[in-house]
């Protein structure tokens, strides 16, 4: 079958279809029950109020029959799209065999390890499954770094999002997640990320990456910097929740050089940017570097089965058996689904296709940036894109309100997106990598229409 035709058949035809402005009556009933019974902390269903009935490819249908173009993809999980047929088949077969075995090996687990080793740089030869979530992978990466260096400090970056558990939360900068919880894990220092649009150094934009790297170098070299030598530097190869901030390859190369020079481990968090999303299997590959430890999750479970992993260099493989344990470290269905999904992506050149589609999307988004008074910057790499919303393009005053409204009205018109950013003012797009060009462009046109209507005061 023609490759593009195959991608087309993965999604529900005709999207978006809006039969009733969401939330429709059936959704309202389910949302009401959720509000009355589940925790007040529930969040996504406030931003995109609906109840979901089914997903297919790059489309989702709600219980009222509305069909959406999914630029959210379960926060970047659904790389191969909802209900991918090959992945479903592998999952169904696995469910009938065995579903849980801690870390006692199975053929399915071995297939996942082999798959990961086939897509990772050969230096990252050791794989560890430390728990079901991305946060678990981050916790394990930190533990491994601390255990090996016998140092305890970690350097992380402003705007970072690494998760919601103890140390992962302490590495996450958004004060809305941190405030009111008292002291978090100690020993973590944040330094500026090369966020060119909001240049933290006041230098010419093309120097931001170097300035950020110099900053890191200076604090490691200056014995009066107040930082003790850390165990590791952790960064997202592309900042995701921080607002789709794409560092230059040079910045990543310099962090690699500096960490190596100082005997500090470099951890790349690829939980969101990894597994094809940015147009390479791993986003650090854009810089031609190999970190010491990589974290993975989200797309790793194929179609949303919970699993995470770290990959690391052989010389770090020093911890004794049982040093770190846990009940849910080997979800067999996730292994079956994830290895099938990754192999399918490789066979069908999905990362390469994501790179091409992303370039086409960016042409359109850059035109939108030029013509809009409230879109400060459109940025993207592969199918990881963000629209930074501002009150005024000259002052760059961030507008979280506008980003929220883009999400609200895009949803009403049949496109799901995420909101993030240092100032919660970035409308974020993370479509399934199997999206067709037609759906991608249609979705962008809808977003452009919403932004234009907001600018013209047609939407409150």
The answer to whether 446 touches 410, Cβ cutoff 8 Å, is: yes
Strand-strand pairing, 188-191 and 293-296: unpaired
- Given the complex with ligand PLP, which of 22 and 159 has the nearer CB atom? 159
**Cβ of residue 263: shortest distance to ligand PLP, in angstroms?**
25
What is the total residue count of the chain? Answer: 460
Closer residue to ligand PLP, CB minimum distance, 403 or 446: 403
Q: Cα separation of 385 and 388, whole Å?
A: 10
Residues 6+ apart with CB under 8 A from 326: 130, 131, 136
Residues 147-166 that bind ligand PLP (CB under 6 A): 161-164
Give the per-residue contact string, 259-298, with ligand PLP (x = CB under 6 A; - = no).
----------x-xx------------------------x-
Which residue number, 67 or 271, has a Cβ lying nearer to ligand PLP?
Answer: 271
| Residue 94 binds ligand PLP, judged by CB under 6 A | no
The closest of 424, 425, 351, 341 to 86, measured between CA atoms, is 341
Nearer to ligand PLP, 11 or 297 (CB): 297
Q: In terms of CB distance, is 27 or 272 closer to ligand PLP?
A: 272
**Of 20-28, 129-137, 196-204, 451-459: span binding ligand PLP (CB under 6 A):** 129-137
Q: What is the DSSP string of 257-302?
A: HHHHHHT-EEEEE-TTTTTTTTSSSSGGGGGT---SEEEE-GGGGT
First to last CA, the chain: 46
Residue showing tokens 């507008």 = 399
Q: Which of 354, 375, 370, 341 is nearest to 430 (CA)?
A: 354
The residue within the footprint of ligand PLP, chosen from 22, 23, 57, 134 (CB under 6 A), is 134
Map tokens 């009205």 to a residue.
409
133 vs 339 by CB, closer to ligand PLP: 133
241 counts as binding ligand PLP under rule CB under 6 A = yes
Q: How far is CA 11 from the centre of its chain?
A: 22
243 binds ligand PLP, rule: CB under 6 A: no
Taking CB under 6 A as the rule, which mask of x and - marks residues 296-315 in contact with ligand PLP? -x------------------
**Maximum separation of any 2 CA atoms in the chain, in Å:** 64
386 binds ligand PLP (CB under 6 A): no
With binding defined as CB under 6 A, does residue 75 bind ligand PLP?
A: yes
Nearer to ligand PLP, 136 or 388 (CB): 136
* Tokens of residue 239, six digits: 């900042």
Q: Which residues pair with 420 in a beta bridge?
A: 426
Residue 236 touching ligand PLP (CB under 6 A): yes
Q: Smallest gap, in angstroms, from Cβ of residue 312 to ligand PLP?
A: 16
Give the shortest CB-271-to-ligand PLP separation in angstroms. Answer: 4
Query: How many Å apart are CA 444 and CA 432, to the nearest integer?
Result: 14
Question: How far from chain centre, in Å, is Cα 22?
Answer: 26
Binding residues for ligand PLP, how many (CB under 6 A)?
16
In the complex, what is the shortest distance from the CB of residue 122 to ligand PLP, in angstroms, rounded to a whole number? 24
Give me the residues that bind ligand PLP (CB under 6 A), please: 75, 133-135, 138, 161-164, 236, 240-241, 269, 271-272, 297
């Amino acid at each position: 079958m023609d490759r593009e035709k195959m991608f087309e058949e993965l999604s529900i035809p005709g999207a978006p279809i809006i039969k009733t402005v969401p939330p429709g009556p059936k959704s309202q009933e389910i949302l009401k029950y959720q509000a009355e019974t589940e925790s007040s902390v529930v969040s996504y269903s406030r931003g995109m109020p609906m109840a979901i009935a089914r997903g297919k490819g790059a489309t989702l249908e709600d219980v009222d029959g509305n069909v959406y173009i999914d630029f959210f993809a379960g926060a970047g999980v659904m790389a191969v799209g909802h209900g991918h047929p090959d992945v479903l088949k592998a999952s169904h077969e696995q469910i009938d065999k065995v579903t849980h075995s801690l870390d006692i090996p199975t053929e399915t687990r071995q297939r996942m390890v082999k798959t990961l080793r086939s897509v990772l740089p050969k230096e990252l030869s050791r794989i560890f499954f430390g728990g079901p979530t991305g946060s678990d992978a981050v916790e394990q990466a930190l533990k491994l770094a601390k255990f090996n260096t016998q140092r305890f400090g970690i350097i992380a970056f402003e705007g970072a999002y690494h998760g919601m558990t103890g140390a992962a939360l302490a590495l996450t900068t958004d004060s809305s997640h941190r405030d009111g919880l008292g002291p978090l894990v100690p020993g973590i220092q944040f330094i500026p990320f090369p966020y060119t649009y909001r240049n933290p150094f006041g230098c010419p934009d093309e120097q931001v990456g170097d300035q950020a790297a110099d900053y890191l170098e200076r604090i490691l070299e200056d014995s009066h910097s107040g930082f003790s030598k850390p165990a590791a530097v952790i960064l997202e190869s592309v900042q995701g929740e921080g607002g789709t901030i794409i560092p230059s390859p040079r910045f990543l190369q310099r962090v690699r050089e500096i960490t190596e020079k100082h005997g500090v481990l470099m951890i790349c968090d690829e939980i969101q940017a990894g597994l094809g999303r940015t147009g390479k299997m791993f986003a650090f590959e854009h810089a031609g570097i190999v970190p010491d430890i990589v974290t993975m999750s989200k797309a790793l479970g194929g179609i949303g089965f919970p699993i995470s992993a770290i990959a690391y260099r052989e010389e770090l493989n020093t911890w004794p058996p049982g040093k770190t344990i846990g009940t849910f470290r080997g979800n067999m269905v996730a292994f079956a689904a994830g290895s099938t999904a990754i192999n399918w992506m490789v066979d069908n050149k999905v990362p390469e296709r994501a790179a091409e589609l992303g370039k086409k999307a960016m042409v359109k988004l850059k035109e939108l940036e030029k013509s809009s008074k409230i879109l400060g910057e459109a940025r993207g790499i592969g199918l990881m894109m963000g629209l930074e919303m501002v009150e005024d393009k000259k002052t760059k005053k961030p507008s979280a309100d506008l980003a929220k409204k883009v999400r609200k009205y895009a949803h009403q018109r049949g496109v799901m997106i995420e909101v993030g950013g240092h100032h919660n003012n970035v409308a974020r797009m993370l479509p399934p990598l199997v999206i067709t060009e037609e759906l991608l462009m249609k979705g962008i046109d809808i977003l452009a229409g919403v932004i234009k209507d907001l600018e013209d005061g047609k939407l409150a």
